C-alpha cells in the first residue's frame, strides 16, 4: 500500500432497503416482511450471503439445516458459498425413507416437522438457518429435531427477526443467535 493511504473499510449495506412491508398479509392485522425484493437484487443478496458467511466462519458448522420453505433458499445458498452440505427440515410426508419427527404447538393448533433419520446421525455440528424468526415455535421445534436426530446445534441464523415477538426466548439458552435485520 502506498504511504499515506488507508485501507478501504467495508460498510455493510443496510439490508432493510430490500425488505418490502406488506400490510394485512396473510390476514388482517399482520405486517408481512417480504424478502422477495432482496432475492431479486444481486447486491442485496450478495450482502446477505457475505454476512451469513461471517456467521459460518465464526461457528464453523459441518452442515447447514434449513427450515421449509424459505429457509431452503437461504440455507442452500449459504451451504454452496461455504462448500458444506445442506439438510432440509420439512413438513410431514415430504421426505423419502426413514424420518425423525417433532410435533409442536402453533398459536392456533399444532404441526409437525421431519428430517431424514440418517442426516445427522454422525453427530454433525449444525447451523440452523431460516429467513424469519417470529414467535420462535418453528425454530424451537427445528432445534429440538436436530438434537433428536443426533446433530449438535451450534447456532441459528436468520435474515429477519421480529424481536417484539420474543422468538429467541424459545430457543436453547446460551445458543448463538444471529439476525441480520431486527425489527422491534
User: Would you please indicate which residues are annotated as catalytic (active-site) residues?
Assistant: 70, 107
CA distance to 103, 125, 140, 149, per residue, from 74 (Å): 24, 18, 18, 22
- Is the CA virtual torsion 87, 89, 93, 99 positive or negative? positive
CA distance 116 to 101: 9
Q: Tell me the β-bridge partners of 115.
A: 100
Pairing of strands 152-162, 177-183: parallel
Element of type H or E holding 145: helix 137-148
Query: What are 164's three cell numbers?
Result: 417484539
Amino acid at each position: 500500500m502506498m504511504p499515506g493511504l488507508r485501507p478501504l473499510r467495508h460498510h455493510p449495506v443496510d439490508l432493510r432497503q430490500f425488505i418490502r412491508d406488506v400490510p394485512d398479509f396473510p390476514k388482517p392485522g399482520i405486517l408481512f416482511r417480504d424478502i422477495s425484493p432482496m432475492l431479486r437484487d444481486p447486491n442485496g443478496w450478495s450482502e446477505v450471503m457475505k454476512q451469513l458467511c461471517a456467521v459460518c466462519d465464526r461457528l464453523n458448522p459441518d452442515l447447514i439445516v434449513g427450515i421449509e420453505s424459505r429457509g431452503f433458499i437461504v440455507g442452500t445458498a449459504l451451504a454452496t458459498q461455504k462448500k458444506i452440505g445442506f439438510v432440509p427440515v420439512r413438513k410431514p410426508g415430504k421426505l423419502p425413507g426413514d424420518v425423525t419427527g417433532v410435533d409442536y404447538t402453533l398459536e392456533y393448533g399444532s404441526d409437525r416437522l421431519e428430517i431424514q433419520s440418517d442426516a445427522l446421525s454422525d453427530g454433525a455440528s449444525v447451523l440452523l438457518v431460516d429467513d424469519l424468526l417470529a414467535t420462535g415455535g418453528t425454530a424451537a421445534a427445528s432445534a429440538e429435531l436436530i438434537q433428536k436426530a443426533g446433530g449438535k446445534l451450534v447456532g441459528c441464523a436468520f435474515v429477519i427477526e421480529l424481536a417484539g415477538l420474543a422468538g429467541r426466548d424459545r430457543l436453547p439458552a446460551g445458543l448463538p443467535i444471529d439476525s441480520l435485520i431486527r425489527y422491534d
